[in-house]
Amino acid sequence: MANQVEQKETISEVIRRELQRRHWSYRVLAEAAGISPAAVGQHVLGRSIPEPSTLKRYAEALGLPFQYLMVIAGHQEPPKENRPADLQMAIETLDNIWSDLPPEVRKLVTNFISELKEVKE
């Protein structure tokens, strides 16, 4: 019970969220991950749990940490020290999101953060 982590999302919800965030269809994800659109549909609808090899493909295609997907899918126990692993997963995810942003959006965000720092001081 000490190692239990409250799981807020299922693997199907994570994949669905990432599809929506990117405005991708099942077919686009299937091509990016090298799997069939039917398999993507089964995973998004929660009718089947992707195998670790498929999760690896999703991780690469979506820019998500493989370990995170393994834990969410139930193939791996959460790390005993949750905070460092969760923090690392969050950093990797944010880094991937940041990389996907257009340069002009990154500049706006950077300027906004600088302004917030000035207000705080």
> What domains lie within the chain, and their CATH numbers?
11-120 (1.10.260.40)
Give the Cα separation of 66 and 118 in Å (integer): 37
Mean pLDDT, range 104-121, rounded to an integer: 82
Helices (H) and strands (E) in the chain, counts: 7, 0
pLDDT band at residue 85 using 50, 70 and 90 as cut-offs: low
Question: Is pLDDT of 7 > 60?
Answer: no
pLDDT tens across 24-42, in order?
999 999 999 999 999 999 9
**pLDDT for residue 109:** 87
CB 69 within 8 A of CB 92: no
Spatial distance between the Cα atoms of 43 and 38, rounded to a whole number of angstroms: 9
Q: What pLDDT score was predicted for residue 5?
A: 43
d(CA 100, CA 22): 9
Across all residues in the chain, what is the average pLDDT?
85
Average pLDDT of the residues in 73-84: 75
Percent of the chain with pLDDT over 70: 86
